[in-house]
Amino acid sequence: MLMTANEPDGAGDLAEREAAALYRLMTWLSPAFPVGGFSYSSGIEWAVEAGDITDLSSLADWLDAMLSEGSGACDATFLVHAYGAAEAGEDAALSDVAELAAAFVPSRERQLETTSQGRAFIDISRTAWDADGLDAMVAACRTPLVYPVAVGVVAALHGVPLAATLHAFLHALVSNWISAASRLIPLGQTDSQRVLVRLETAVAATASWALSATLDDLGSATFRADLASLRHETQYTRLFRS
């Protein structure tokens, strides 16, 4: 690589840290990372059966609402506050965030979804991507860590930047929703990508909002999506666990 005399000190080191952070995020939030996200639809399966989601447009609208006004925005906020507590080493604050995040889940199946993924994320991180203080931090929490809290804690302990972690998490969340819907509607690969394109602005806006949101700002207005998650529990024929 061509080097110049006036290149700032530490520029190579910064690039190395950024590469390490990107490598971790691409691994942790890849569909191949074994947290079982492929087996959950977050109520989308019932919404398709009920006729609320029928095509690209209705799917994009549904997911935009979930992301901006529902579980997506809440999960993003919990990730931010979990990251901050873990980075500061504040076990009591992290425990409070974890408990509130678990209480915000609207249905039994969504509780199963987010706690199972959170537990798997922590277990795999402990085995393959361990970080100093992870076991003590998890043990200090009064409740199991839901998925966004687990991601926030591990990212903080590895020194992965918060903004990048948040964007990657929301991208993975939306991608998993689209993957579930593509099998249910069904939706082709190209149309699936079109939905992802339409949600790019919403992902960025949700991340920006969550970075400055307090826990008092939390709330959800996606009543139909919450009902879909509840109705899925008694759905007669199911492909997904939520």
Instruction: Please state the pTM of the whole predicted model.
Output: 0.93
Phi, psi for residue 177 in degrees, rounded to 5: -60, -45
DSSP class of 217: G
Do 29 and 169 meet the contact criterion of CB atoms below 8 Å apart? yes
Q: Mean pLDDT across the stretch 131-135?
A: 94
Do 235 and 106 meet the contact criterion of CB atoms below 8 Å apart? no
What's the pLDDT at 6? 47
Kindly report, residue by residue over 24-58, the tens digit of the pLDDT.
999 999 999 999 999 999 999 999 999 999 999 99
Do 126 and 135 meet the contact criterion of CB atoms below 8 Å apart? yes
DSSP class of 7: P
What's the pLDDT at 127? 95
**Cα–Cα distance for residue pair 191/32, rounded to 1 Å:** 22
Kindly report, residue by residue over 223-237, the tens digit of the pLDDT.
999 999 999 999 999
What's the pLDDT at 12? 56
What's the pLDDT at 4? 41
- Which CA distances in Å does 58 have to 6, 43, 51, 65, 172? 54, 15, 10, 11, 20
Element (H, E) at 57: helix 56-69
Nearest to 23 by CA among 128, 117, 126: 128
Domain spanning 41-229 has what CATH number?
Answer: 1.10.4190.10
The letter for the amino acid at 112 is L
Q: Transcribe 181-200 into DSSP letters.
A: HHHHTT--HHHHHHHHHHTH
First to last CA, the chain: 50
What's the pLDDT at 14? 55
Q: Transcribe 137-176 into DSSP letters.
A: HHHH-SSPPPHHHHHHHHHHHTT--HHHHHHHHHHHHHHH
